Amino acid sequence: MKNKSSLFIKGFKHTALITFLSRITGFIRDVFLASFLGAGIHSDIFIIAFKLPNLFRRITAEGALTSALLPIYTLLKEKKGIVFANNFFKVFTFRVIISLTILLAIFEIFMPFIIYLLAPGFANEDMLLNQIILLSRITIFFMPLISIVALLGVVTNISGRFWAIATTPIILNICLIFACFFIKEEEFLKSLPLALATVTAGIFQIIFMIIIIKKFNILKMEIKSPKKQKSEDTNDIKFYIKKTWTKFMPAAFGGGILQINLLVDTILASLLGFGSVSYLYFSDRIAQLPLGIIGIALGTSLLASLSISSAENDAKQFSKQLTSSLKIGLFFSIPSSLVFILFPDIIISVLFERGEFGINEKYQTVTALIAYSIGIPAFIILKSCQPAFLAEGDTRTPMNIGIVMLLLNITLSLILMKYLSHAGIALATSLSSWIGCIIYIIILFKNNKIQNILILVIYSIKIFLISSIMTLVMKLCFYQISTFQIHKTVTLFLIITSGLLTYFLTCGFLRYIPQELLKNQKLKL
């Protein structure tokens, strides 16, 4: 039991640490994109072209492929042994590569139709559409590459080396940053270097994961007998492959619902004119900082540990790990949400306001950031709730909840965008996520996966109160600093530092910090 808890907490800490570094490089990347492309036509072109392969990255590397494959691989490893599990994994990977190659060809052929669906607001802009189609036919090659990376990440996660797959986005960010220096103002298609860099990054990511797997001999084949694999083993592998594929589509929809909703945001934003797609993109990048660092880390490590608990029928440990994950998510998400809601102007200004990204772009992005920030706790809670079903092989419940969230998001977006423009689209995503979150919690409580929901409610109130005190200190600090002529970057650093010190010292004194975070875990290399 202790080892399983250790796997979860260690996985969370290591994934969060590496993901934090990834997000830092991601912000540097976005600073370069904002500076070189601004928030208008040129940035809209690349963001739309990048949206489809990026959706696959989020769903595969952070969602469906992992969610469908990892529990079955874990079960086979526990019940049938490492040799059988690795044979299954290799056959499954080969079939995925074949399927992705066919899918890639389909995308290339029907790309004009797909872009019409992704950006209906640009339907009358022939030259603009042709540029997006051209870029998309390049960036879509990233889709099969990152899917293979996600598959390799399953075995590295099971081995306890969560840092490996968490490192791969850094490679993408570095490639895109480097590509920005090749953007030239006089070019017909300014973002072409970015599209080429995206595909290059996918190749480097696969090479990196193969090196890690070979270095640590993760997929070693311990053949105990010189005889050929038995026919019944072959039939078993086919059975489990079919079972994995059966769970993939529901997992893709349920586990990737937030990313699907963000794709819907992009489609609807294209109807509002140039710039709206970029406003949502840059605000989403900031709002997803806690989701990327905390939510993804929780979801990744929790799925691995819950899969083991489920395979061993350890219901008590299952509930304990889920409750710990929810408390950790609340501990980080509530203060993050309040900070982004109360200090959006200076955050956007420091990160993006330079070059082609002006004052108007800043204010438009600020409104979207506030709207997205309302949903930050829900985004992270969803990442903890979904593995509770996926670890037991239940992909249909997340899918059904995902359908409800998608329909709500579309309905609310169509209503709110009339009054709040692109900010209404962002707000709809936040509200639909909160409703989905409530549905998840109710079902988990009824199924006795969360044994005491009152503990979580009380803990949420405590964290909200401490977070409110933190933001009050930050406001006072901000007003004091404003009386001096200090650079806005230094100002942001000082108020964030004052907030962090207030929050962690207060939570530490009152013992509100989740105790699992205080345990020392050594990094497995």
pLDDT digits (tens, 9 = 90+) for 5-16: 555 666 667 777
119: pLDDT strictly greater than 90: no
Which of these ranges, 20-24, 207-211, 280-284, has the smallest mean pLDDT? 20-24
- pLDDT attached to residue 150: 84
Per-residue CA distances from 366 to 111, 231, 284, 371, 417 (Å)? 33, 61, 11, 9, 16
Least confident among 195-209, 226-240, 405-419, 479-493: 226-240
pTM: 0.76
Task: Report the alpha-carbon distance of residue 224 to residue 484 in Å, rounded.
Answer: 73
CA atoms within 13 A on the CB side of 126: 0
Does residue 384 contact residue 441 with C-beta atoms inside 8 Å?
no
Rounded CA separation 433/417 (Å): 17
Which of the residue ranges 14-23, 231-240, 321-330, 334-343 has the most confident prediction, judged by mean pLDDT? 334-343
Is the separation of the CB atoms in 43 and 126 below 8 Å?
no
For residue 278, the surrounding DSSP H or E stretch is: helix 276-290
Q: Is a pLDDT exceeding 80 seen at residue 232? A: no
Q: What angle do CA 228, 229, 232 make, to 5 degrees?
A: 135
Instruction: Report which of residues 203 and 161 the model is more confident about.
Output: 203
Reported as a pLDDT band with limits 50, 70 and 90, residue 226 is very low
Mean of pLDDT over the chain = 84
**How far is Cα 515 from Cα 525, in angstroms, rounded to an integer?**
25
In this predicted structure, what is the pLDDT of residue 408? 95
Q: What is the pLDDT of residue 230?
A: 54
Q: What is the pLDDT of residue 524?
A: 46
Exposed / middle / buried, residue 149 (Cβ in 10 Å: 0-12, 13-18, 19+): buried
- Closest to 410 in 3D by CA, of 271, 216, 203, 505: 271
| pLDDT tens-digit series, residues 401-451 | 988 999 999 999 999 999 999 999 999 999 999 999 999 999 999 988 888
For position 3, what pLDDT does the model report?
A: 52
- The answer on pLDDT for 190 being more than 80 is yes
